[in-house]
Amino acid sequence: MIQGFPDYFRSGLIFLHPDSLITTINHGIMNNYSTHVGGKVFMFDTGLVTLRFAILSLFLALFSMEGKAQLPPPEFTIQSGLMTPEEYVRNILIGPGVEVSNIVFTGNLQAIGNFFGESNIGIDAGLILSSGNAVNAKGNASSNASTNMNAAGDEDLRTVARKCGDGITAHPSLDAAILEFDFVPQSTFVEFRYVFGSEEYPEYVGDAFNDAFGFFISGPGIDGFNQYSGNARNIALVPSTFGELVCINSVNHLTNSQYYVNNSGGTYIKYDGFTHVFTARSPVVPCSTYHIKLSISDIFDRVFDSGVFLEANSFSSVGVASALSFTHAAVDTAVENCNSASLEFRLSTRAFVDFTLHYEIAGTAENGVDYEWIADSVVIPSGDSIATIHIIPITDDIPESTKVVEIIFNTSLCEVMLDTARIWIKDYPEFFLNQSAAQSIECGQTAFIRAGANGGIEPWEYFWDSGNPADTTDIIQVTPLVSTTYTVQVTDVCGNLIEESIFVEVRGPIAEISAGSEVNICLNDNIDLTVDGGTSWLWSTGETTQTINVAPIVNTTYTVSVSDDCGNTDDAEILVTVGQPFADAGVYDGICVGQSIELIANDTPNGSWVWTDMVTGEVQNGRIVTFTPLISSQFCVDVTDNCGNTVSDCTFIDVFQLSADAGTDQEICAGNEAILTGISSTGSGTYTWTDGTNTYTGQVVSVYPVASTQYTLTVTDGCEATAVVNVTVNPLPVVTAISSASAICPDESVTISAGGALNYIWTSLPVDPTMSNPLLSDITATPVGTTLYTVTGTDINNCSNTQVVGVTVKERMFADFAASQPAVCEGDELTLTYTGNGQSYATYTWDFDGGSASGSGQGPIAISWANAGTKNITLTVTQLNCASEQVQVSVDVNSMPQADFTAGIASGCIPLEVTFTDASQNSVPGTTYDWDFGIAGTRSGNSVAPSFTQSGAYDVQLIVTNPGGCVDQKSASGFVNAWPLPVAGFDANPETASMKNPVLGFQSTSTGDSLTYLWNMGDGTIYTDPQFTHTYADSGFYQTVLLVENEFGCTDIFEKTIFISPKYMLRIPNAFTPNGDGLNDEFTIAGNGVKEFSIYIYNRWGALVYFSNNIEASWDGKVSGNPALAGSYIYKVFFKDENDEVAEYTGSFFLMR
């Protein structure tokens, strides 16, 4: 945060998103306010700063983030004339929780201004009031601030000067600057911060030139004991005193000096002295209107100015403030598995009952998913002023973007002034180190090694094991004498630790003997041995020179240790062999006949070699020679070294011969396989077969030749051999099969004959159990369906072939048919429909049992009979010479019914029930009866009793149906007459009365024609008129009954309870829900007998939220147009009844949302 700038320049930085430069609260940039309470910063929404300051604030905020480029604090500046007094108040002075109006400034406009920038007064920015020119307050204390403003004084300041003086003398007040306005606070206190300074310091302390200032507040609950105008009280008081006023004589280098700043030598303001930052504070009634006057003036003369600096946005009255803190104060976000947030709510005063603060939980973070679940309210206990909720991120190890929790709460104790606290939640970034690679230096060199931390939560702390306490950064410098592994441990704010190691190699000398690791000399010779590397040497002989001379008589190993100046060492050794000649002819694998072999003897410096074939006697010179032996042979070599010594050694070479066998010749039938098996003389090797066209691999292979074929086998096993085998292929026999018939009717037999082979066997698909001996050439069968018969024939070479013959079984015929109905009336037709499988070309033989039919073949066929009875119809179908079985269907022929009915009483008042009974002729079992009564509905059955519920005449119809659809009907028009009922009803005016006027008017609202009336008033009184007035003699409940009767004698009754109260009556609800759903949205009191009425509704803090003197009016749950908070409210009701008796009710109800 940039020092020296006003709070309203920095307000947009109160809550910072970790991934962005600036986040604003509610109303945009620079709409927050902070106040210091108990060492914490409490945040409020203001929205009071002009656009010019907002733009400057945003610009400065972009350069004020930690780790970013920062601007130097601005120069201390005092400005005047840039705003009107109203703008000074609204845009600079006023903070959250207050509403201002009626702003008036009295005095010279040059005496009011604004200030900001770096200074020593303790306030970064705000409003200045001066007894001189406000701009002249800026400057070096060595110069004077003194301006004659030719302005009037203030009598209240004259009183202040008298109180700060001798208490008696009242010197004149001059050049007053007076700023006053009305305000409405939102909490139980109003406060602001200020500094008073004066050019009168210190010379005129205790003198008459006691320039004065004061903050005069008046309004509900304020009693100034008539010391100041408007019975105001001055709240510019010295801290920790009993109401001592702040002035030059009360705070200076002699009195209350702990609050005084000696500004001699100061470079920001000219005043020679000023006070510490004080807070002016006064208790108030929330949502009441107060007046305050801020005033300063010269006293006694117009020389040497004084001024009061009022902190920007500090004039506030916040009911509920919030403060945000974190587990790790250096981190301003909540972090999974690291950092939790605590949001503290503080009341402006201690709660005298448990105070429940409701708030809305919003934002992109999900309650109970991204952070541990929190309730939507918190309770500040009675006697306390603070409650805290904790935002604890839930560790889920799921990579997520940064999310925000928004807690939206009401800062006002009497209205709705919402503020939002935002807590950002982010994943814990992966914590790792980027360490240097291993390094290599020489003795005496320096290395820089680094382990840069990444991720986690900054700041990081480094701990190196270098032995240097100053090594606490990511890069350190080391100068090891020997190779060393350096370990660094890094911790972040969350306490997480990671560790890495870096190896620094100190390169020592490299010992290297110039003659190599082995050297040969002749017996009795000597040799110089020289070692490279290092600065000192120690040989195994005890010598300490770089070169030594040795002459061993046997093979000897010499070692040397070399050292550098750091004490690093390295060793080397050399084997000196003494020339003892030897020979080695080597060992070799065998070869095939015709192959050559290369023979290699041991190496001897400056030596010679002679090889000899011990079978043929062939001789070759050289260490490496080539021979081509025909048989297994021994070869010897004579080796002569450079000293002239000769020795011999021999080796044996095996020469191999390989053979192959392809097996015996084979015979197969055409299409069968032949299995070829090869053998080699070694029992191993690779086997390859070929027929000249195809190639097969393997010792055993399968082949399928279509003709007789010769196969050649090649075996490779270091050497190669071949063999052949012949496969003869015999042809298959030609088998025939002939059936005596290709198609038969169901249940017929067929004969099938085979030929062309020596032996036969028959099979069938599907299996036919009627087939005769299947091992003969000829068979007989009676298949039940189409069947394939397969014969397999085998010849003299045992080769087989097959033949297939099929026999089709024709479709079995069915003569099924259906009648359109099982019964029919005499003379009526029914339809016969064929349902079998015959085709149109089949022959259809019908018998209709005396019926008259039209149609033939498959039909459909229409048939009727002239007489009743059971008729039998038959059908036989013949198709493709296959006849079906005969099918018979029986039909009942019924006679026609004659419909008739009887009925009970068919006239009466609704609802009228009439019983109807069937009286039809020619009914038979299965006959149905269907009745139709018009709008009274339908019924079924031979006896029914319908109810007629509507008045009018009804037609009646009966339909009688015999089986087979034989139908007759009878209709009677207007057969039933249902008479209407009257509808009784009446109105009483009023319906509820008291004994003060127990007279009610009654009027019938009954409907119907030609009505007569009979009233029973519940008190024994009878009336027969449709309208009258009745007076009840006593209070109580009366059941009033009206009986009406129409011209048909039909009646109806209506009843109503009449209540006569003794006096008056009120109905007061205990709760309502103003949520706009149309149900119980308003708090309404109803009653009777009330002549005059008034109601007062108060919130839990005693503030009046609603008043009305109209019992018909209702409270809609709003205060100043804003929804009131849910909770308990108190009402006081005053009323006068019609007897002029006065009563008062007090109670409570609950507002629910």
Q: What is the pTM of this model?
A: 0.42
pLDDT of residue 1064: 60
pLDDT of residue 26: 31
Is residue 7 over pLDDT 80? no
Tokens coding 601 = 């003897």
Pick the CATH number of 320-426 from 3.40.630.40, 2.60.40.2030, 2.60.40.10, 3.40.50.300: 2.60.40.2030
The CA distance from 105 to 114, in Å, is 15
DSSP 85: H
Stretch (H or E) spanning 53: helix 51-61
Query: pLDDT band at 33, cuts 50/70/90?
Result: very low
CA angle 1083, 1085, 1086 (to 5 degrees): 140
Is residue 1062 over pLDDT 90? no
- Note the CATH number of domain 901-979: 2.60.40.10
Is residue 34 over pLDDT 60? no
* Average pLDDT score over residue span 677-704: 90
Pick the most confident of 128-137, 208-217, 713-722, 860-869: 128-137
The CA distance from 958 to 978, in Å, is 20
Query: pLDDT band at 41, cuts 50/70/90?
Result: very low
The CA distance from 1068 to 1083, in Å, is 9
pLDDT of residue 195: 98
* Average pLDDT score over residue span 1005-1023: 91
**Is the distance from CB of 628 to CB of 654 less than 8 angstroms?**
no
Pick the most confident of 41-55, 505-519, 986-1000, 1001-1015: 1001-1015
Is residue 1127 over pLDDT 60? yes
**Is the distance from CB of 345 to CB of 409 less than 8 angstroms?**
yes
**Is the distance from CB of 907 to CB of 976 less than 8 angstroms?**
yes
What ranges do the domains of the chain cover?
A: 1-72, 75-311, 320-426, 432-507, 512-578, 591-656, 660-730, 736-809, 817-894, 901-979, 986-1061, 1065-1151
pLDDT of residue 1077: 87
The CA distance from 316 to 42, in Å, is 12
* Average pLDDT score over residue span 385-410: 92
May I ask the CATH class of domain 432-507? mainly beta
Query: pLDDT band at 318, cuts 50/70/90?
Result: confident
Is residue 1079 over pLDDT 50? yes
Name the CA dihedral angle for 365, 369, 374, 375, rounded to a multiple of 10 degrees: 90
Question: What is the Rg, in whole angstroms, of the alpha carbon atoms belonging to the chain?
Answer: 63
> Any idea which architecture 591-656 has in CATH?
Sandwich (2.60)
Q: Which CATH superfamily includes the segment(s) 512-578?
A: Immunoglobulins (2.60.40.10)
pLDDT of residue 352: 67
The CA distance from 215 to 156, in Å, is 10
Pick the most confident of 70-74, 189-193, 1144-1148: 189-193
**Is the distance from CB of 864 to CB of 828 less than 8 angstroms?**
yes
3-state secondary structure 670-681: CCCCEEEECEEC
pLDDT of residue 821: 86
1061: Cβ–Cβ under 8 A, 6 or more apart, which residues? Answer: 992, 993, 994, 995, 1035, 1088, 1089
Higher per-residue confidence, 692 vs 166: 692
* Average pLDDT along the chain: 86
The CA distance from 1130 to 1118, in Å, is 15
Query: pLDDT band at 820, cuts 50/70/90?
Result: confident
Token look-up 């609204």 returns: 90
Q: Percent of the chain beyond pLDDT 70?
A: 92
Based on the number of CB atoms within 10 Å of its own CB, is 1023 exposed (0-12), middle (13-18) or buried (19 or more)? middle
> Any idea which architecture 1065-1151 has in CATH?
Sandwich (2.60)
CB atoms near residue 639 (< 10 Å):
23
478: Cβ–Cβ under 8 A, 6 or more apart, which residues? Answer: 446, 447, 449, 466, 484, 486, 504
CA nearest neighbour of 601 among 591, 614, 590, 588: 588
- Chain segment 887-933, per-residue pLDDT in tens: 999 988 887 888 899 998 888 899 989 999 999 888 888 889 999 99
Tokens coding 229 = 């105008």
Higher per-residue confidence, 193 vs 36: 193
Q: Which CATH superfamily includes the segment(s) 736-809?
A: Immunoglobulins (2.60.40.10)
pLDDT of residue 1063: 59
* Average pLDDT score over residue span 1097-1104: 82
Q: Percent of the chain beyond pLDDT 90?
A: 52
* Average pLDDT score over residue span 1056-1072: 79
pLDDT of residue 626: 93
Instruction: Determine the 3-state secondary structure of 564 from DSSP.
Output: coil
**Are the folds of 320-426 and 817-894 the same?**
yes
pLDDT of residue 208: 79
Tokens coding 104 = 């008036």
The CA distance from 828 to 893, in Å, is 9
CATH T-level topology, domain 817-894: Immunoglobulin-like (2.60.40)
pLDDT of residue 855: 87
CA nearest neighbour of 299 among 199, 231, 193: 199
CA angle 725, 727, 729 (to 5 degrees): 170
151: Cβ–Cβ under 8 A, 6 or more apart, which residues? Answer: 107, 108, 111, 174, 175, 176, 177
- Note the CATH number of domain 986-1061: 2.60.40.10
**In whole angstroms, how far apart are CA 348 and each of 42, 282, 284?**
12, 12, 11
pLDDT of residue 511: 84
Is residue 669 over pLDDT 70? yes
pLDDT of residue 828: 83
What is the distance, to the nearest Å, from the Cα of residue 1073 to the centroid of all Cα atoms in its chain? 33
DSSP 1125: P
**Is the distance from CB of 291 to CB of 222 less than 8 angstroms?**
no
30: Cβ–Cβ under 8 A, 6 or more apart, which residues? Answer: 8, 9, 11, 12, 24, 46, 49, 53, 54, 57, 58
Among 205-214, 609-618, 766-775, the range scoring the smallest mean pLDDT is: 205-214
Is residue 271 over pLDDT 50? yes
May I ask the CATH class of domain 660-730? mainly beta
pLDDT of residue 55: 34
**In whole angstroms, how far apart are CA 893 and each of 423, 821, 852?**
94, 10, 13
Token look-up 């390295």 returns: 570
Phi, psi of 965 (to 5 degrees): 80, 25
Tokens coding 99 = 């509403």
- Chain segment 99-119, per-residue pLDDT in tens: 999 999 999 999 999 999 999
The CA distance from 323 to 841, in Å, is 104
DSSP code per residue over 145-214: ----------HHHHHHHHHHTTSS--PPEEEEEEEEEEEEESSSEEEEEEEEEETTTTTTTTSS---EEE
